Amino acid sequence: MAQPTALALELRGASIRFGEQVGVEGLNLEVPAGTIFGLIGPSGSGKTTTVRLLTGVYKPQEGVVRVLGQRPGRGNRRLRQQIGYVPQLFTLYPNLTVWENLNFVASLYGISWFGRRKRLREILDFVELGPARTRLGRDLSGGMQRRLSLACALVHSPTLIFADEPTAGVDPVLRTKFWEHFRALRDQGRTLLVTTQYVGEVAACDLVGVMREGRLLHVASPTGLRRAALGGEVVRLVVDPQDVREASQILLRLPQINDVQRVRGEPGALNVLVERAGEALPAIFAALGDAPGVTVRVAEEYQPPFDDILVALLERAEVLHG
């Protein structure tokens, strides 16, 4: 019998308020070990509050929070040693060099002097800051400061890494580099919780949570989020504009088709909503192939960008919760 997957993070009905204001409410979440979990949502939706609950900065007023099987808190030193944290803003020492900043953080975690130099070189190479080891923190670009923050979060080899909007304000090339680092850490068996304002980044996550007004609306894989937002999968179909009505009528008679929608601004383009695109495409080709007046120009599975998916999920939540 297969052993159950260990949970790195667990929330059971976790809630916290700040006076009359809801921080987060009734959060239920399980994140398996060795997973990249992305947390997305509008500003003020509760992402940072959730991270602070999980890191022990806040205590839940209701419910239970477990991190690596333990309750987080300032008194749990052993747990803190297993956690790395990348803050939103650069919080290291501007008058120290890259090496000195990293060395100082290593000393806080009690990493022995004899083994420290090798570890520091490994981490600087990992985040590609080796050539900048003698530069002062204040002289680093914003992107290099972000990489130094990541290095300091990793210097003690944590099992679990929290990264709070680590790619905010950095260029697309560096964002790609960060996600390469995250995937490499995941492949080493680490668990990462990453909050992000770039919705497209969720495609690189194993699981994604969508937050709104302190509530966790959805937790699913990127593919699962698409299905939740759209009610299935989408086939993008292009026919000659004069054939749109006939093609729509033919498709709607097929049991595999849930809905057919015209695409605004694209004459002849149809979005066909189906349960499984791979199963529906042969039926679509067969049905339209038997219609002599309809010529199919394009028929392929379509994956809407995650910005559109997030908007659809939030709009649905607005209808349901008001």
Choices 3.40.50.1580, 3.40.50.300, 3.40.50.720, 3.90.1580.10: CATH for 7-227:
3.40.50.300
Q: Name every residue whose Cβ is closer than 8 Å to that of residue 80 and which is 6 or more positions away in sequence.
A: 56, 74
Q: Which two tokens stand for residue 36?
A: 């990249």
* Domain residue spans of the chain: 7-227, 232-308
State the pairing for strand pair 269-274/233-239.
antiparallel
Write down the pTM of the prediction. 0.85
Residue 199 DSSP one-character state: G
What is the C-alpha radius of gyration for the chain, rounded to an integer number of angstroms? 24
Type and span of the H or E element at 3: none
**What is residue 234's three-state secondary structure?**
strand
8 A C-beta contact, residue 129 and residue 160:
no
Angle at 228 between CA 226 and CA 231, to 5 degrees: 95
The residue whose two tokens read 């490994």 is 122
What's the pLDDT score for residue 305?
84
The pLDDT, as a whole number, for residue 2 is: 43
104 contact partners, CB below 8 Å, separation of at least 6? 93, 96
At the second CATH level, the architecture of 232-308 is 2-Layer Sandwich (3.30)
pLDDT of residue 140: 93
Strands (E), the chain: 7-18, 21-32, 36-40, 62-67, 83-86, 160-164, 191-195, 207-212, 215-220, 233-239, 257-262, 269-274, 296-302
pLDDT value of position 283: 92
> Residues of the chain whose pLDDT is less than 50?
1-3
